[in-house]
Structure 1
Amino acid sequence: MTHSHTLECRHIERQSGTAFRLKRGQILRVIDPMGEQVSDLMAFREDDLDEVLSSGRTIDYANTIYVTTGHILYSNRSNPMFTILEDQVGRHDFLLTPCSPETFQIIYGNHEPHPSCFMNLVNNLAPFGIAPDRIPTTFNIFMNVVVAPDGELTIGPPLSKAGQFIELRAEMDLIAGVTACSAEMSNNHSFKPIDIEIRE
């Protein structure tokens, strides 16, 4: 693997998010500094926001729901958006949507205000002209979703240990949003930060 140098580091506080531009060929490293913390990733083509990261296309072409090192994450137009260069954890989710205010009402029965990945993505992507309804299923880094033979889903603690990361190379100029997930079940009932590095 080629050596890369870091252009930018961002620390995403617990239950928050960020958004940024990522140029083709740049590498996004998503790090779990404390362990057992999920991070939702969403990306849009910078010069055409109708082209967006697609769970369905990616799973279809990879023929697995568990993408890892060497897999390509595709757009809704079947163009490569990211290539996974290195994956120290090996278990991520691309089935479930980012947690939203409704998630906490419907799944958790919680009607109090609650931070969510969806709203963190909405708020951080808004300055780039991305409307809420444009945000589809996110790539849920470090999220551990197990599928039983009957199709039932179990969300287990993330397998990520402190300091482990995944590296994705941008295959086009992108606008990306990244969160530190706010759903109790996804993070073994403890909220922690996420670190990202943009590398070249």
Structure 2
Amino acid sequence: MKQPITIPPRSGTAFRLEKGDSLTVIDPRGEQVSDLVAFSAADVREAISSGRSLDYASKLYLTTGDAIYSNRSNIMLRIVEDKVGRHDFLLTPCSRETFKIIYRDENPHQGCFGNLEVALAPFGVGPDQIPIAFNCFMNVVIHPATGVFTVEAPLSRPADFIKFRAEMDLVVGLTACSALQSNNHAFKPIAYLVERWAKT
């Protein structure tokens, strides 16, 4: 049986998915966010779009059965199984600037943005092309009257997962998030499993 691949804390990776493949993002220890971005393998200028995905779903929290659309309104991924049910698709990947502004960190980590930038460069994706990520397991709570939001501890428990199916050939970037607030003030690994579609 194929074993999941581990992404060490505060790091990231990138890889290809073919149409029909499944990607399972796993939180091995619980309360750890994973930023996911995806691009069309045929043209990396086509990328996941928070605005279009949330608009077409008419809701802020995507889960089983929901689609993740591209900036060209094509379905890139579909959520086929979700053990948590709370993920974020509003906030941008954390970066050096994030840590300077929010945490007043004078020697900041490069964050998920920097990790994605490095991992995606071999696939021809530049930093200005990195979109708002689908933040697996991130728990952003929005106050309905004011719109004020807070980042709370993820609801994911050890071994919880979210599973996607690729609806086109993709380049995927994936991280183990580097922001303290997002991960209940601890940095932990993320695991993922790619299962190839058996063509007949």
- What range is the shorter-chain TM-score in? over 0.9
Which has a greater percent of strand?
1
1:36-75 correspondence to structure 2 within 5 Å? 36-75=31-70
Deviation at 1:199, TM superposition (A): 1.1
Q: Give the secondary structure class of the aligned counterpart of 1:53.
A: coil
Q: 1:131 aligns with which of 118, 126, 131?
A: 126
Deviation at 1:113, TM superposition (A): 3.0
Kindly report structure 1 stretches of 4+ aligned residues shifted beyond 3 Å. Answer: none
TM superposition score normalised by structure 1? 0.95
Distance (Å, rounded) in 1 between the aligned partners of 2:143 and 2:169 = 37
Q: 1:194 aligns with which of 183, 190, 196?
A: 190
What's the Cα RMSD here?
A: 1.0
1:1-200 correspondence to structure 2 within 5 Å? 6=2, 9-149=4-144, 150-200=146-196
Could you tell me whether the CA contact under 8 Å between 2:27 and 2:158 is conserved in 1? yes
The number of aligned residues is 195
Q: Deviations over 1:96-125 (max 9, x none)?
A: 000010000111111213140000000000
Q: Give the secondary structure class of the aligned counterpart of 1:49.
A: coil
Distance (Å, rounded) in 1 between the aligned partners of 2:17 and 2:106 = 36
Distance (Å, rounded) in 1 between the aligned partners of 2:166 and 2:64 = 14
Distance (Å, rounded) in 1 between the aligned partners of 2:125 and 2:109 = 22
TM superposition score normalised by structure 2? 0.95
Q: What are structure 2's unaligned runs of at least 5 residues?
A: none
Q: What are structure 1's unaligned runs of at least 5 residues?
A: none
Q: Give the secondary structure class of the aligned counterpart of 2:187.
A: coil
The one-letter amino acid of 2:26's match is I
